[in-house]
Structures are given as C-alpha cells and as structure tokens.
Chain A
Amino acid sequence: MEFSYEVKDSYAEVKADGRLNMVSAPKLREFVTDVIAGGSNRIVVNLENTAFMDSSGLGALIGCLKAARQAGGDLRIAAVQPQVNMVLKLTSMDKVLTAYTTAEEAFGND
C-alpha cells in the first residue's frame, strides 16, 4: 500500500492506495499521526484507490479518527469503493465514518 498526502486550504488529504489490511493498517495509523503532528487536524482519507479493507484497516481508520478528534479536528473518508463500503455497512461503522463522494465535499460545508 502507498500513502501520500497533500495539504489543501481547509484540510489535509491522505491517499491510501492498495490493500488496507493487517500489514498496512499500522502504517496508515503512523502516516496519519505524522500528518496530524505536522499541524493538520482536519483529515480526509481519500479511498478512491483502496481496493480492499479488512477489520484491521477499519480499526486503523477509527484510530486515526480518534487522533484527529483529540487534536481538535475530525477525520472523514471519501470516494469509498464497493468492498470498503460493504465492510463499513456490515460492521455498522458507516454511521461513525461518514463517507463523502469526493475529498472536496468532505469538509465542504464546514
């Protein structure tokens, strides 16, 4: 899995491309923690190229959400693909991690 980020006007966009599984989940957590430590507490995780996520990956997203909130911000997800959407729904975590169609929309009204 490859991670990248870009600081936009009102948020930082993190891209996680590949499979978000038990191997990459701790790396996502570390990556987002570093982005927050760098001064961005409003995070959008763009999942456009995240073809797969398991419960470890979901746990990492929840950990990142908590870290962003502890820093006084929030974390939102965007461009969710079908498999990730299925995992979010089956675990009822779609109510906690709100999915937006695009990264731009995630903090669009804030």
Chain B
Amino acid sequence: MTEVLASRSFRGAAAEDAIEAVHNDLDSLWLDVPFVNDMDQMTFTTAVIESASNIVQHAQPAGERDVELGVETTVQPALLQARVSAYYAKPPFGPMEASTPDEDAESGRGLALIEALVTTVTFERQDGTNTWVLSRTSSQD
C-alpha cells in the first residue's frame, strides 16, 4: 500500500464557487507537505484548476440531476495525484486531443496546458462519471 502523506477531497455543484473552494483546498494541502517544492505545487495546482474549470464550463448533465464536481488530491512520497470528476455528466463531447489555437484565440489552450503540466493524464468513464486522473511525479530537491 502506497503511503498517502496528505490529501484533500471536494465535492459540490459544478459552479464557479467550486473553483475557489478547490483552489483554497490546494493552498491548504501544500501547508501540510512543505517538502513538495514550489515548482511542483505551482504546476500541479494549475493543472487541477484547469481540469476543474473545464468541467464547470463544459460538462453537460446526463439526466435531470445537475452535474457535480469532485476533486480528490493525494500526495505520496514521490507522486502528486488528482482525480477530477464530473458526476451525473454526459460523456465528454468533441475531441479530447490538445490543440494549438491561433495566437489571438481567446480559448482552447486548457488541454495542452494540462498535458504540459503533469506527467500523465488519463480519462475514465464509469457509472455516469467522467474522471480525469492527473499525475505528476514529484521532483526531489
């Protein structure tokens, strides 16, 4: 069993307020694990907020229930991992490959940014829930 040194869990309506709540959770998480260096904290926080924002902006409800956002973040000795989920959501619509928009485009950079920030991104769909698993191998100082 891999040792979990610290973790945070959020679940709530996929709305704007959730983004600030998740960001506050991450800020407090880093206080528990000061050995995680600034670069890892910064990159991982950015990737998680990008993914959560993607759900708040784009996830569509599969039925009558509103979409909920879930973010579970764990810190292991050499691994940062987040499971960012859209509950009660339709499968994602459109291409899931990162694109490179024109330089004057005002959107479309999120996915490429996430891929640049973490070591792996995987997607799972199970029981009506879309989950992006973000993993970053923690660099040692």
* Residues of chain A whose beta carbon lies under 8 Å from any beta carbon of chain B: 19, 21-23, 52, 54-56, 58-60, 62-63, 66, 82-83, 86-87, 90-93, 95-96
> Shortest distance in angstroms between B52's beta carbon and chain A's nearest beta carbon?
9
A60/B106 contact (C-beta < 8 A), A22-B57, A23-B20 known: yes
Dominant secondary structure at the A interface = helix
> Shortest distance in angstroms between A62's beta carbon and chain B's nearest beta carbon?
5
A55–B20 CA distance with the chains assembled, in angstroms: 15
B28-36, B39-47, B89-97 - interface stretch? B39-47
How does the 8 Å CB contact mask read for B100-111 relative to A, with 1 for contact and 0 for none?
Answer: 000111110110
**CB-CB nearest 6 A-B residue pairs:** A59-B106, A55-B110, A55-B109, A22-B53, A90-B116, A23-B16
B113 interface contact, C-beta 8 A: yes
A91–B108 CA distance with the chains assembled, in angstroms: 11
Dominant secondary structure at the B interface = helix
Q: A56-B53, A59-B105, A92-B103 are in contact. List 17 more A-B contacts (CB 8 A).
A: A23-B16, A52-B23, A54-B49, A54-B113, A58-B109, A59-B109, A60-B106, A62-B105, A82-B42, A83-B45, A86-B46, A87-B113, A90-B113, A91-B109, A91-B113, A95-B103, A96-B104
A83–B41 CA distance with the chains assembled, in angstroms: 10
> Shortest distance in angstroms between A23's beta carbon and chain B's nearest beta carbon?
5
Contact of B19 among A22, A58, A59, A63 (CB under 8 A): A22
A54/B50 contact (C-beta < 8 A), A22-B56, A59-B109, A62-B105 known: yes
Cβ contacts under 8 Å, A91 to chain B: 109, 112-113
B117 interface contact, C-beta 8 A: yes
Q: For A55, A56, A82, A91, which residue has the most chain B Cβ atoms within 10 angstroms?
A: A55
A20–B98 CA distance with the chains assembled, in angstroms: 22
> Shortest distance in angstroms between A60's beta carbon and chain B's nearest beta carbon?
7
Cβ contacts under 8 Å, A82 to chain B: 38, 42
23 contacts between A and B (CB under 8 A): A19-B23, A21-B19, A21-B20, A21-B49, A21-B53, A22-B19, A22-B56, A23-B16, A23-B19, A52-B45, A52-B49, A54-B53, A58-B109, A59-B105, A62-B104, A66-B104, A83-B42, A83-B46, A86-B42, A86-B46, A87-B46, A90-B113, A91-B113
